Amino acid sequence: MEEIKMIKEKMYRAGYICDDGSATVLFLAEQLHKPILVEGPAGVGKTSIAQAFARMKELPLIRLQCYEGIDEPRALYEWNYKKQLLHIQAVANQNLDVSEVEKEIFSESFLLSRPLLQAITSAERACLLIDEIDKVDFEFEAMLLELLSEFQVTLPELGTVQARHIPFVFLTSNATRELSEALKRRCLYLYLDFPRAEIEKMILELRVPHLSHKLSGKLVETLHQIRQMNLRKQPSIAEGIDWAFSLLAMGKEDISTDVIMETLNVILKYHEDINQVRTSFAKA
Amino acid sequence: MNAITGQIQNFIEDLRGAGISVSPGSVEECYRSLILTEWSSEAVFYTILFCTLLKESAFIAIFQEIYNRHFHYFKINQPESEEEFRRLNAINFNIIGFGQANSGKKSDQEGQKNNNHQSYQRQVDSKNHYKDLFALDFYTATYSASVEDIRKMEQLIPLLGKRMASKMIIKKRRHQTGNFDFRRTIRSSMSTGGVPMEILVRKKVREKPVIFALCDVSWSCLHFSYFSLSLVYLLEKFYRQARSFAFIDETDEITSIIKRESHSHLRPKVLTEANVCGNSGYTNYGQSLSSFYNQYGKDLSHKSYVLIFGDARTNWFGTNPYVLKDIQRRVKRVYWFNPEPKDEWGSGDSEILIYKKYCTRVFECCNLGQLAQAISDIV
Ligand SMILES: Nc1ncnc2c1ncn2[C@@H]1O[C@H](COP(=O)(O)OP(=O)(O)OP(=O)(O)O)[C@@H](O)[C@H]1O
Ligand SMILES: [Mg+2]
Convert the pLDDT of each residue in A121-167 to its tens digit: 999 999 999 999 999 988 899 899 989 988 988 888 888 888 889 99
User: Is B90 in contact with B180 (CB distance < 8 Å)?
Assistant: no
**Of residues A215, A203, A229, the one with CA closest to residue A260:** A215
Convert the pLDDT of each residue in B8-23 to its tens digit: 888 999 898 888 889 9
Convert the pLDDT of each residue in A90-109 to its tens digit: 887 787 788 888 888 888 88
**Is B240 a residue whose pLDDT tops 80?**
no
pLDDT at B107: 40
Domain identity same for A218 and A167 = no
Give all domains of chain B, ordered by start, each with its CATH number.
3-107 (no CATH), 156-167+207-377 (3.40.50.410), 177-205 (no CATH)
How many residues are listed for chain A in this entry?
Answer: 284
The last residue of a domain, from among A55, A86, A112: A112
Domain identity same for A179 and A237 = no
Convert the pLDDT of each residue in A237-256 to its tens digit: 999 999 999 999 988 877 78
Q: Which atom of ligand 1 is nearest to the CA of A172?
A: 22
Give the separation between CA B67 and CA B58, rounded to whole angstroms. 15
Q: What is the mean pLDDT of chain B?
A: 77
CATH number, domain at A124?
A: 3.40.50.300
Q: Which of B46, B47, B201 to substitute to test the interface with A, most A CBs within 10 Å?
A: B47
Domain identity same for A140 and A185 = yes
| Predicted TM-score of the model (pTM) | 0.77
Convert the pLDDT of each residue in B132-184 to its tens digit: 777 777 766 655 556 666 667 777 777 777 777 777 666 666 555 667 777 77
**Is B203 a residue whose pLDDT tops 60?**
yes
Convert the pLDDT of each residue in B313-330 to its tens digit: 988 888 899 999 999 999
Pocket test for ligand 1, best of A48, A132, A220, A269 (most atoms within 8 A of CB): A48
Owning domain of residue A272: 197-283
Residue whose CA is at the smallest distance from ligand 1 atom 15: A45
Instruction: Say what the alpha-carbon torsion angle A239, A244, A249, A253 is, to the nearest 10 degrees.
Output: 150
- Between vectors from CA B322 to CA B321 and to CA B323, what angle results, nearest 5°? 90
Give residues with Cβ within 8 angstroms of B98, minimum separation 6.
Answer: B31, B35
Mean pLDDT confidence for B15-38: 88
Domain identity same for A264 and A140 = no
Among the listed ranges A1-5, A196-200, A231-235, B331-335, which one has the minimum average pLDDT value? A1-5
pLDDT at B171: 64
Among the listed ranges A32-41, A263-272, B170-179, B279-288, which one has the minimum average pLDDT value? B170-179
Question: What ipTM is given for this predicted complex?
Answer: 0.90
Domain count, chain A: 3
Q: What is the mean pLDDT of chain A?
A: 91
Give residues with Cβ within 8 angstroms of A149, minimum separation 6.
Answer: A186
Cα separations (Å) of A55 from A13, A48, A58, B291? 9, 10, 5, 63
Residues linked to residue A63 through DSSP beta bridges, in sequence order? A129
Domain identity same for A66 and A170 = yes
Among the partner-chain residues B37, B38, B46, the one whose CB lies closest to the CB of A28 is: B37
Task: Give DSSP secondary structure letters for B183-237.
Answer: HHHHHHHGGGTT---S--BPPPP-PPPEEEEEEE-SGGGHHHHHHHHHHHHHHHH
- The residue among B292 and B57 whose pLDDT is bigger is B292
**A191/B57 CB distance under 8 A:** yes
pLDDT at B205: 60
Give residues with Cβ within 8 angstroms of A256, minimum separation 6.
Answer: none
User: DSSP label at B98?
Assistant: S
How far does residue B134's CA lie from ligand 2's centre (Å)?
Answer: 32
Q: Which of B30, B51, B59, B256 to substitute to test the interface with A, most A CBs within 10 Å?
A: B51
Domain identity same for A100 and A222 = no
pLDDT grade for A15, boundaries at 50, 70 and 90: very high
pLDDT at A196: 93
Minimum Cα–Cα distance from B238: chain A residue: A176
Domain identity same for A125 and A186 = yes
Give the separation between CA B229 and CA B34, rounded to whole angstroms. 43
The last residue of a domain, from among A158, A191, A224: A191
For residue B286, give the H/E element and its range: helix B285-296
pLDDT at B295: 94
**Is B3 a residue whose pLDDT tops 70?**
no
Q: Contacts for B234-239 with beta carbons within 8 Å, 24 or more apart?
A: B234/B157, B234/B158, B234/B160, B234/B161, B234/B164, B234/B263, B235/B164, B235/B211, B235/B307, B237/B161, B238/B161, B238/B164, B238/B165, B238/B168, B238/B379, B239/B208, B239/B209, B239/B210, B239/B211
Closest ligand to the CA of A204: 1
Domain identity same for A122 and A251 = no
Domain identity same for A56 and A164 = yes
**Of residues B55, B47, B6, B3, the one with CA closest to residue B26:** B55
Taking contacts as CB-CB distances below 8 angstroms, the residues of chain B near A24 are 37, 43-44, 47-48, 51
**Is B299 a residue whose pLDDT tops 80?**
yes
State whether the beta carbon of A133 lies less than 6 angstroms from ligand 1: no
Mean pLDDT confidence for B78-83: 54
pLDDT at B119: 44
pLDDT at B102: 34
pLDDT grade for B194, boundaries at 50, 70 and 90: confident
Give the separation between CA B133 and CA B147, rounded to whole angstroms. 13
Give the separation between CA B289 and CA A262, rounded to whole angstroms. 49
The last residue of a domain, from among A174, A191, A208: A191
With pLDDT > 70 as the criterion, what percentage of chain B qualifies?
73
With pLDDT > 70 as the criterion, what percentage of chain A qualifies?
100
**Of residues B265, B317, B256, B267, the one with CA closest to residue B291:** B317
pLDDT at B259: 77
pLDDT at B173: 60
pLDDT at B81: 55
In angstroms, the separation between the Cα of residue B101 and the nearest Cα of chain A is: 18
pLDDT at B112: 43
Among the listed ranges A148-157, A175-184, B294-303, B369-378, which one has the minimum average pLDDT value? B369-378
Domain identity same for A216 and A95 = no
pLDDT at A284: 72
**Is B126 a residue whose pLDDT tops 60?**
no
Domain identity same for A174 and A230 = no
